[in-house]
Structure 1
Amino acid sequence: MKFLEKLFETTLWNGRLFVLLAVIFSMLGAIALFVVASTDIWGIVVKTFQIYFSHAHPEHFHEELVGVIIGAVDLYLMAIVMLIFSFGVYELFISEIDPAKDVHSGSKILEIHTLDELKDKLAKVIVMVLVVSFFKKALYTHYSSPLEMLYFAGAILALSLGLYFLHKGGNH
């Protein structure tokens, strides 16, 4: 009976290694998001130089430029969410990341000791993704009445209050 118990517990403990699938695919997703965002920025930079060297100034180009850059920032933030998730899950379920401990002056942003810390860090970055997404949507919204502008101002106030309380609740 002792043998079966030991076999079951060993199998159960090694089952945590399935978490590596989440770690690997989160890292691949982060890399894909970094590549896509960088490609978007590179494309708009090339287009900007072409437009300005040809002295052509298409209508609404500045809005397009800002929109692409904001979209890229959004993708970068999502990539960061994926990185934080993969590092956190690895450290929680598999092992501490030794190179991260060796860097004495490095950032502690990826250092995660509990599931609650991982959730807090992810929540903060996700809120920033939502703020950037809101800004991008607001950039392309056309307002036809003063009431719509008032709603927009209220939404900005709500976001500002949310960010204030999110920041206030952290350990700063």
Structure 2
Amino acid sequence: MEQGCMYIVESFKVYWASCVKGIHTGQMVLCLVEAVDVYLAGTVMLIFGMGLYELFISNVPRNVPPSEDRALLSSSLFGMFILKERPRWMRITSLDELKTKLGHVIVMILLVKMFERSKTVAITSGLDLLSYSVCIFLSSASLYVLHNLHK
């Protein structure tokens, strides 16, 4: 997460430096895309860790009210954010559900990487443009299919 914050700070530096010069090269967008990529990788690790905890370590039954859940009693960031109940994404009941959630985030990471690489590709012919548009279409179709499979 620290690396993602560094990418965001770097993007602001690039933005202000380019504003002073009056030249916008798109480098700021690349820094922000890298930050999103790092945050998505952190999200994968968080979902994986919380899913494994929920499946194998936590022995709290599903019908326990949030006031009696001992995991929620000590959930805070220096006392600032106390959870009232477990978030829906944290309620993982099977290994298949954990794999599905991880798969969704990994597909998003792949799409962000594709977007990051596409900013550096030079389109010089009609075939390049066709390949680029097919790539965008397939990416959108994969997200659509994944979304409908989840329902």
SS in 1 for 2:21: coil
Q: How far apart, in 2, do the equivalents of 1:147 and 1:39 lie? A: 37
Amino acid at match of 1:130: L
Highest relative contact order (Cα 8 Å, sep 6+), 1 or 2? 1
Give the structure with the higher percent helix: 1
Structure 1: distance between partners of 2:53 and 2:9: 32
Which of these residues, 95, 103, 123, is aligned with residue 84 of structure 2? 103
In 1, the alpha carbon distance for the partners of 2:24 and 2:49 equals 43
Rg (Cα) greater in structure: 1
SS in 2 for 1:109: helix
> Is 2:32 the counterpart of 1:69?
yes
- 1:148: Cα distance to partner? 1.1
Unaligned runs of 5+ in 1: 1-33
Quick one: which of 29, 38, 47 aligns to 2:5? 38
Q: CA contact under 8 A between 2:18 and 2:24: conserved in structure 1?
A: no
Structure 2 unmatched runs, 5+: 61-69, 76-82
Match of 1:133 in 2: 113
Query: How many residue pairs get matched?
Result: 132
RMSD (Å) for aligned C-alpha atoms: 1.9
The change in CA–CA distance for 1:51 and 1:159 in structure 2 (over 3 A counts) is closer
**TM-score computed with the length of structure 1 as normaliser:** 0.70
Q: Distance in 1 between matches of 2:145 and 2:31?
A: 29
* Aligned-residue identity in percent: 33
Once residues 114 and 147 of structure 1 are traced to their aligned partners in structure 2, the CA distance between those partners, rounded to angstroms, is 45
Q: Secondary structure at the match of 1:134?
A: helix
Distance 1:50 1:151 in 2: 34
**C-alpha distance in 2 between matches for 1:50 and 1:146:** 35
One-letter code of the match for 2:132? F
Amino acid aligned to 2:2: V
What amino acid maps onto 1:71 in structure 2?
Answer: E
State the partner residue of 1:145: 125
Change (3 A) 1:110 1:44: same
Report the residue type matching 1:161 in the other structure. Answer: A
**Runs of 4+ residues deviating >4 angstroms:** none
Q: Which of 43, 54, 57 pairs up with 2:22? A: 57
Q: Does 1:88 align with 2:51?
A: yes
- Alpha-carbon shift at residue 44 of structure 1 (Å): 2.1
